[in-house]
Structure 1
Amino acid sequence: MILRYSLPFCLLLTAGCARQKFFQPDARPEPTALAARPDSVVVTAGRHYRRGPIGRFLLGQHHRTAWAQPVTLPVLDAATTVPGGLRAGKIGGGFQTISMTVVGADGRSYALRSIDKDPYRTLPKVLRHTFVLNLVRDATAAGHPYGAFVVPPLAEAAGVRHTKPRAYYVRPDETGFGEASARYHGRVVLLEEKLEGKQNIAGRLPGATDLDESDTMLEARYKSPKNTVHEAAFLRARLLDLWLGDWDRHEGQWTWAAYPQAQGQTRWEPIPQDRDQVFFRFDDGVLSWLVSKVVPKFRTFGPRYESIEGYTRNSRYIDAHVLTELDRRTYLATARDLQRRLSDSVITSAVRQGLPQAVFRQEGPRMIAALQARRDALPKAAADYYRLRARTVLVAGTDADERFVVERLNDTATVVSVYELKPSAKRPDSLLYRRVFHPAETRTVQLHGLQGDDEFELRGSVRRSPFIAIYGGPHEDKVRDESRVAGLRRRTRFYDTSRNNDVGPAPELKDKTSHGVGSHAFDRDGSGR
């Protein structure tokens, strides 16, 4: 019934025009002249998100109260906020947020970005001057304007690396950032240290030798066996994301710190960034509820976990490429450890510390209660997350020569191991990867040899086993499949070019080679190439 009458209404709304003056002109409710240079002022993050009863019924209450609540924030001064002052750096290229890198006197860089967003450039041009723009702009109120400031003490307690953002108001006559200053006049902004680039390591990440984005980390990971990823740390951070309801954790939301290990190895450890979507509240209006059914990633934060698949949709690529080796027991053990760390007192202190006092009085108890309920249910969420990740698992080698061994031990266990064929003399153990797969959990294991002359060996006779999909990659590859799985459907498939491969007798293997090189495609950095 709701769908029947609401969809025509949506179409009627989209025929209208976009509001010319949507955003508040100044964050101060009464923007009188600032004769002196005050340390703080009373501001609102977004008075323009206030709606009447009909608007709240159709679009949802979201976090409108927090956006419109007057709070006291410090005033940003480019000359004094950071010792030695800040100067303008590179202008950010985000589609919704006004952002810029600013640099301190010591060479360290910071991100300066508006808390409010404008999704104008994310829409097709044909919709930018219709009522659709109003609807999309209004949806910004589903994010909590001060949610990011609650996260640092929670991440600290959870054992997850984090930044320490702070909220400021930029006065209308601020000139310390040159021509870029005008972009921020009258706005509430977030200032946080940037954990990117070697210049930002000193004093922040002892022992690290580099800081890079996900694409650079993955490029190194797939180039050489000398690079590994700290999966356990990434899992811990991802479970924290689920707990916070942070659904926007794609590969661009991570920085990776490189730490040298024994025998010339490098281990990459994750650092989450950009907590814009924590405590997201969306499906509390007729139209927003309809949108949430069409766009599953828009999951609302509340006492229960709405949809693990929805919360993790934006992170599917980075999850698939990093979470490849850990088993269900590790997921559950990590969840229980987080339960222990995130006590009631830790939660209460973080919410009270992160929210402005006036906002805390309005919704602090509700947020605390929801965090406590979600913490208590975290092992169940972790188990659901594991099941989702275990359905199809990516096991990739590197551009070096490797040997993939698949042992179909019995009807409940298939072991996949990856060895370096020509390990360095410094590494007596050539084992790179090992995991036990269960057909009740895993339907397909994808083996990617990438570059190099790789070998694939399969053995064991069973009645049940996951599908094994072998992608040999460029160069000459060798396949020996001595395994057998009961039934008419063969459970091993080999994708490669028709030439330059050595495929021995393999009764269980289905040859999917072709004359083209399409099977060699492997998305190393999330670009889809």
Structure 2
Amino acid sequence: MLGLVLLVVAIIYISVGSKPDVIQTDIIIGAENIDSIDFENIDSVTVAATTMYQGDLVKEVMQGEQYREVWATPVKVPVVFLDRILGGLTVMKEGGGKQTRSLRLKNNSGTVYTLRSVAKDPDPLIPEFAKILGIENIIIDGVSAQHPYGAMIAAKLAEAINIQHPHPTLVFVPKQSRLNKYNNEYGNKLYWLEYETEGEKNWSNLENIVELVDTEDLQEEKVKLKEKLKIDYRALVRNRLFDIVIGDWDRHAKQWGWFLQKNDEMFTAIPLASDRDNAFFTIDGILPNIISSKNIQPRLRPFENEVDYMPGLVYPFDIYFLKEVPKNIFVEEAQYIKTHLTNDAIDAAFMAWPQEIYQLHGEKIKEILTNRRDDIEAYAIEFFEVLQTKDYLTEPLKGSDDSDIPAELHKCFECL
């Protein structure tokens, strides 16, 4: 018995400790020396996001197949120079994400954009004990459960049900003078180029928008405007039910922007979700299934045919904004999704993927997506019922910790 236990421990250690001999990111196919490429004379490159998650049979059994092959599969993307697109882009500042490297950009007319790296940098999430034990790879490897190109399909699906999104576009950004001091660190990499979720310029098809703000700024506006500022609760419910359909389990307050729409003396905040990188999040393998148990990590829910644990998907964000929303709105928005997210709309959305990406998991993802859509009305009712069991918040929302807002506004958005 002891021998069997030791064998299992050894296999686990080998699995979590193993990694490719050479880890590469943003790999241009056919280029031995990327610095020798004259990007001025080419309009596209074929590039793989990373080889970081490639593994042997032991790793795939213990830590799952996940989307390892997708991360390492080359795709053809346009080469962009910031001064030649969207009216000319200049770098404003570096972003502050934990895993995703990002730059905030602005064009000559004042519209704000973001470059977000496709390849992740999980080092900031690795605790010191994992580094000491040499098992940091189990945390790094967890990113392989994210589909690197899921955000592209999430955006197309959102359009089918009239949900605002930041219009992510896959691009390769070579080293260039417009990157300034960030050139060496950010040049020659694969990015999502998309609209920023805050700024003074309205880039959407919405009318009478005065500003885009983050959640913390929205709370501060609530202090000033009080009853004159309301949330578009139907739009927010539709967004959150859409997250259930696509399996995006990680939706906290810092991942939302808000269009402030003025009508006479009243303001409406219309939600804008960003960073839907966890769409189609998959979990397989022995260790991920143990870790994602609802008793260990209740929020880490897999994208499967059925939602296995709804309480894990209800965030403090939902309690804060949606606890007082009546049941009928949840049901009606679920019915809207079910009616408008048709099979044809789903098929059209997945055409955005290159064939080499679609052929790996596309059919399976579509099948799961369709099943979740078909059951979304039942999930909407369950989501509502879980919300009713939750108490109002006693702590600030994530990202609002330093905000100087009244204590009662920490409880819920309409509690002021």
Q: Which residue of 1 aligns with 2:240?
A: 238
Q: Which residue of 2 aligns with 1:503?
A: none
Q: How far apart, CA to CA, are the structure 2 residues paired with 1:111 and 1:123? A: 26
Higher relative contact order (CA 8 A, sep 6+): 2
* Superposition deviation, residue 23 in structure 1: 3.5
What displacement does 1:325 show?
A: 2.7
Q: 2:384 is matched with which residue?
A: 386
Structure 1: state its 5+ residue gaps. Answer: 397-449, 452-519
Asked if residue 359 in structure 1 is aligned to residue 357 in structure 2, the reply is yes
Residues 195, 201 of structure 1: 8 Å contact kept: no
Aligned position for 2:397: none
Query: Quick one: which of 299, 302, 305 aligns to 1:303?
Result: 305
Which of 173, 187, 191 is the matching residue for 1:189? 191
After superposition, the C-alpha distances for 1:298-326 in whole angstroms (9 at most, x for unaligned) are 211122222222233xxx22111111332
- Equivalent-residue separation in structure 2 for 1:156 and 1:76 (angstroms): 25
1:230 Cα deviation from its structure 2 partner: 1.6
8 Å contact from structure 1 (residues 209, 259) kept in 2: yes
TM-score, length basis structure 1: 0.69
Residues 179 and 187, structure 2, Cα contact 8 Å, conserved in 1? no
Which of 131, 143, 147 is 2:134 aligned to? 131
Cα separation, 2, equivalents of 1:310 and 1:380? 16
**% same residue:** 27
Query: Residues 365 and 19 (structure 1 numbering): CA distance in 2 closer, same or farther, change over 3 Å?
Result: closer
Partner of 1:274: 275
CA RMSD, aligned part only? 2.9
Structure 1 partner of 2:24: 24
1:508-527, aligned counterparts within 5 Å?
523=410
CA deviations on 1:409-441 (whole Å, 9 max, x unpaired) are xxxxxxxxxxxxxxxxxxxxxxxxxxxxxxxxx
Match of 1:64 in 2: 68
Task: Name the structure 1 match of 2:399.
Answer: none
Task: Give the distance between the partners of 1:40 and 1:83, measured in 2 at CA.
Answer: 17
Q: Which residue number in structure 2 is paired with residue 470 of structure 1? A: none
Alignment partner of 1:375 out of 368, 373, 382:
373
Separation of aligned partners in 1, 2:86 and 2:177: 18
1:351 touches 1:364 (CA, 8 Å); kept in 2?
Answer: yes
Is the contact made by 1:147 and 1:278 (CA closer than 8 Å) also made in structure 2? Answer: yes
- 1:358 Cα shift? 1.0
Give 1:286's aligned residue. Answer: 286
Shift of 1:12: 4.3
Which structure has more helix as a fraction of its residues? 2
Q: Shift of the alpha carbon at 1:327?
A: 2.2
SS at match of 1:368: helix
CA distance in 2, matches of 1:210, 1:129: 47
1:40-72 alpha-carbon deviations (Å, 9 max, x no partner) = 111111222121211111111111121111211
Q: Which residue of 2 aligns with 1:87?
A: 90
**1:180–1:10: structure 2 CA closer, same or farther, 3 Å change rule?**
farther
TM-score (norm 2): 0.86
**8 Å contact 1:120–1:128 — kept in the other structure?**
no
Verify the 8 A CA contact 2:93 2:104 in the aligned structure 1: yes
Larger Cα Rg: Structure 1 or Structure 2? Answer: 1
The answer (yes or no) to whether the contact 1:221–1:229 under 8 Å persists in 2 is: no
Aligned-partner Cα distance in 2 for 1:53–1:391: 44
Answer yes or no: is the 8 Å Cα contact 2:83–2:178 preserved in 1: yes
Q: d(CA) in 2 for partners of 1:371 and 1:319?
A: 22
Work out whether 1:119 is the aligned partner of 2:122. yes
- 1:305-454 counterparts in 2 under 5 A? 305-312=307-314, 316-353=315-352, 355-392=353-390, 394=392
Query: Against the structure 1 CA distance between its residues 174 and 202, is the aligned structure 2 distance closer, same or farther, given a 3 Å change threshold?
Result: closer
Distance in 2 (CA, whole Å) between partners of 1:38 and 1:239 is 42
SS at match of 2:83: coil
* Cα separation, 1, equivalents of 2:335 and 2:16: 51
CA contact (8 A) 2:25 2:52 kept: no
User: Cα–Cα, structure 1 residues 203 and 382, in superposed 2: closer, same or farther, change >3 Å?
Assistant: closer
Equivalent-residue separation in structure 1 for 2:313 and 2:21 (angstroms): 33
After the TM superposition, which residues 101-180 of structure 1 pair with which residues of structure 2 at under 5 Å, given as runs? 101-128=104-131, 130-171=133-174, 173-180=175-182
CA distance in 2, matches of 1:7, 1:196: 50
Aligned to 1:211: 212
